[in-house]
Chain A
Amino acid sequence: MAFVLSEDQQMIRDTAMSFARDELPVSHLRDLRDGGANGVDPASRAKLAELGFFGVLIDEAYGGVGMGMVAMGQIMEAQGRTLAATPLLQTAVLGASLLSLGGSEALKTEWLPKIAAGEVTLALALDEGTHHAPLNVSTEAERNGQGYTLNGAKRFVPDGHHADVFIIVARSFGDAGQAHGLSLFLVPNDAEGLTVQALNTVDSHGAAHLSLDGVAVSEAQLIGAPDAGWEVLEPALDRGRIALAAEALGSSQAAFEMTLEYLQTRKQFGQLIGSFQSLQHRAAQMFTSLEMTRSCVAAALAAADDGSNSLAELASLTKAKATELVHLVSNETVQMHGGIGMTDAHDSGLYMKRARVQEALLGGASFHRDRYAKLNGF
Chain B
Amino acid sequence: MPFDAPEELDGFREQVRGWLEENCPASMRTPMSDDEVVWGGTRETFKNPDSKIWLERMGEKGWTAPEWPAEYGGGGLTKAQSQVLSQEMRRIKARPPLFSFGLWMFGPALLEFGNHEQKARYIPDIVMGKTRWCQGYSEPGAGSDLAGLQTKCEDKGDHWLINGQKVWTSYADQADWIFCLVRTDTNVKHDGISFLVFDMQSEGVEARPIKLISGSSPFCETFFTDVQVPKDQLVGELNKGWTIAKRLLQFERSSISAGGFGGTGGSGILPPQEYAKQHVGLDESGRVQDGDMRARISDHLMYSKAFGLTVQRMTAEAKAGQEVGHTASILKYAAAKMNQEKCELLVEALGTDGLGWDGDGFAEDAKKATRGWLRSKGNSIEGGTSEVNLNVIAKRVLGLKEHQ
B26 proximal to A (CB < 8 A): no
The residue of chain A having its C-beta at the shortest distance from the C-beta of B303 within the complex is A292
The residue of chain B having its C-beta at the shortest distance from the C-beta of A373 within the complex is B298
A61 proximal to B (CB < 8 A): no
B267 proximal to A (CB < 8 A): no
The residue of chain A having its C-beta at the shortest distance from the C-beta of B316 within the complex is A3
A369–B298 CB distance below 8 A: yes
The residue of chain B having its C-beta at the shortest distance from the C-beta of A256 within the complex is B398
Interface of A is mostly: helix
B334–A288 CB distance below 8 A: yes
The contact of A378 among B276, B333, B398, B399, by CB within 8 Å, is B276
Q: How does the 8 Å CB contact mask read for B282-313 relative to A, with 1 for contact and 0 for none?
A: 10001110000011011101110111011011
* Contact A376:B273 (CB < 8 A) given known A3-B312, A366-B295: yes
B1 proximal to A (CB < 8 A): no
**Separation of A214 and B294 alpha carbons in the complex (Å):** 42
A283–B400 CB distance below 8 A: yes
**Closest approach, in angstroms, between the C-beta of B273 and any C-beta of chain A?**
4
A281–B317 CB distance below 8 A: no
A residues less than 8 Å from B402 (CB atoms): 275
The residue of chain A having its C-beta at the shortest distance from the C-beta of B394 within the complex is A280
A43 proximal to B (CB < 8 A): no
The residue of chain B having its C-beta at the shortest distance from the C-beta of A310 within the complex is B305
The residue of chain B having its C-beta at the shortest distance from the C-beta of A273 within the complex is B400
The residue of chain B having its C-beta at the shortest distance from the C-beta of A292 within the complex is B306
B172 proximal to A (CB < 8 A): no
* Contact A292:B334 (CB < 8 A) given known A274-B401, A378-B288: yes
Q: How does the 8 Å CB contact mask read for A32-65 relative to B, with 1 for contact and 0 for none?
A: 0000000000000000000000000000000000
Binds A, one of B80-88, B111-119, B156-164, B385-393: B385-393
A residues less than 8 Å from B312 (CB atoms): 1, 3, 295, 299
B397 proximal to A (CB < 8 A): yes
A67 proximal to B (CB < 8 A): no
* Contact A280:B330 (CB < 8 A) given known A295-B313, A369-B299, A373-B297: no
**Separation of A215 and B124 alpha carbons in the complex (Å):** 81
B306–A317 CB distance below 8 A: yes
* Contact A317:B305 (CB < 8 A) given known A4-B320, A274-B401, A291-B330: yes
* Contact A277:B397 (CB < 8 A) given known A3-B316, A288-B333, A373-B298: no
The residue of chain B having its C-beta at the shortest distance from the C-beta of A272 within the complex is B401
A243 proximal to B (CB < 8 A): no
The contact of B397 among A1, A274, A287, A369, by CB within 8 Å, is A287
The residue of chain B having its C-beta at the shortest distance from the C-beta of A298 within the complex is B313
The contact of A296 among B309, B324, B330, B391, by CB within 8 Å, is B309
B121 proximal to A (CB < 8 A): no
A residues less than 8 Å from B79 (CB atoms): none
Q: How does the 8 Å CB contact mask read for A278-298 relative to B, with 1 for contact and 0 for none?
A: 001101110110011111101
B313–A287 CB distance below 8 A: no
**Closest approach, in angstroms, between the C-beta of A243 and any C-beta of chain B?**
18
B277 proximal to A (CB < 8 A): yes
A residues less than 8 Å from B201 (CB atoms): none
**Closest approach, in angstroms, between the C-beta of B388 and any C-beta of chain A?**
11
* Contact A295:B306 (CB < 8 A) given known A370-B295, A373-B287, A376-B273: yes
**Separation of A288 and B316 alpha carbons in the complex (Å):** 18
A residues less than 8 Å from B307 (CB atoms): 292
Q: Which of B146-196 contact A (CB under 8 A)?
A: none
* Contact A284:B302 (CB < 8 A) given known A292-B307, A378-B288: no
B residues less than 8 Å from A283 (CB atoms): 394, 398, 400
B residues less than 8 Å from A295 (CB atoms): 306, 309-310, 312-314
* Contact A373:B294 (CB < 8 A) given known A296-B309, A299-B309, A378-B287: yes
A277–B403 CB distance below 8 A: yes
**Separation of A218 and B400 alpha carbons in the complex (Å):** 62
Q: Which of B42-58 contact A (CB under 8 A)?
A: none
A271–B390 CB distance below 8 A: no
A369–B398 CB distance below 8 A: no
**Closest approach, in angstroms, between the C-beta of B303 and any C-beta of chain A?**
8
The contact of B313 among A270, A288, A294, A370, by CB within 8 Å, is A294
**Closest approach, in angstroms, between the C-beta of A156 and any C-beta of chain B?**
24
**Separation of A233 and B276 alpha carbons in the complex (Å):** 32
B residues less than 8 Å from A260 (CB atoms): 398, 400
A264 proximal to B (CB < 8 A): yes
B404 proximal to A (CB < 8 A): yes
**Separation of A281 and B404 alpha carbons in the complex (Å):** 17
A281–B287 CB distance below 8 A: no
B residues less than 8 Å from A285 (CB atoms): 390
**Separation of A317 and B301 alpha carbons in the complex (Å):** 9
B residues less than 8 Å from A281 (CB atoms): 387, 390-391, 394
A residues less than 8 Å from B404 (CB atoms): 270-271, 275
* Contact A376:B301 (CB < 8 A) given known A291-B310, A292-B307, A369-B295: yes
B residues less than 8 Å from A377 (CB atoms): 273, 286
The residue of chain B having its C-beta at the shortest distance from the C-beta of A270 within the complex is B404
Q: How does the 8 Å CB contact mask read for B252-267 relative to A, with 1 for contact and 0 for none?
A: 0000000000000000
B322 proximal to A (CB < 8 A): yes
**Closest approach, in angstroms, between the C-beta of A9 and any C-beta of chain B?**
13
A residues less than 8 Å from B277 (CB atoms): 378
**Separation of A277 and B393 alpha carbons in the complex (Å):** 12
B93 proximal to A (CB < 8 A): no
B211 proximal to A (CB < 8 A): no
A372–B302 CB distance below 8 A: yes
B395 proximal to A (CB < 8 A): yes
B305–A378 CB distance below 8 A: no
**Closest approach, in angstroms, between the C-beta of B39 and any C-beta of chain A?**
32
B403–A271 CB distance below 8 A: yes
The residue of chain A having its C-beta at the shortest distance from the C-beta of B285 within the complex is A374
B401–A264 CB distance below 8 A: yes
The contact of B390 among A272, A280, A373, A376, by CB within 8 Å, is A280
**Closest approach, in angstroms, between the C-beta of A308 and any C-beta of chain B?**
13
A157 proximal to B (CB < 8 A): no
A263 proximal to B (CB < 8 A): yes
The contact of B301 among A264, A280, A292, A372, by CB within 8 Å, is A372
The residue of chain B having its C-beta at the shortest distance from the C-beta of A366 within the complex is B295
B302–A320 CB distance below 8 A: yes
**Separation of A324 and B404 alpha carbons in the complex (Å):** 34
B298–A372 CB distance below 8 A: yes
Which of B276, B302, B306 has most A Cβ within 10 Å? B302
> What are 29 residue pairs bridging A and B, where the CB atoms are less than 8 Å apart in the complex?
A2-B316, A3-B312, A3-B317, A275-B402, A277-B403, A280-B395, A281-B390, A281-B394, A284-B389, A284-B391, A287-B398, A288-B333, A291-B324, A292-B307, A295-B309, A295-B314, A296-B309, A317-B306, A369-B295, A370-B294, A372-B298, A373-B273, A373-B301, A378-B273, A378-B276, A378-B286, A378-B287, A378-B294, A378-B298
The 9 nearest A-B residue pairs measured at CB: A280-B394, A284-B393, A3-B316, A295-B309, A373-B298, A295-B310, A284-B390, A3-B313, A275-B403
**Known contacts A1-B312, A373-B273, A376-B298; 4 further A-B pairs (Cβ under 8 A):** A280-B390, A283-B400, A288-B333, A378-B297
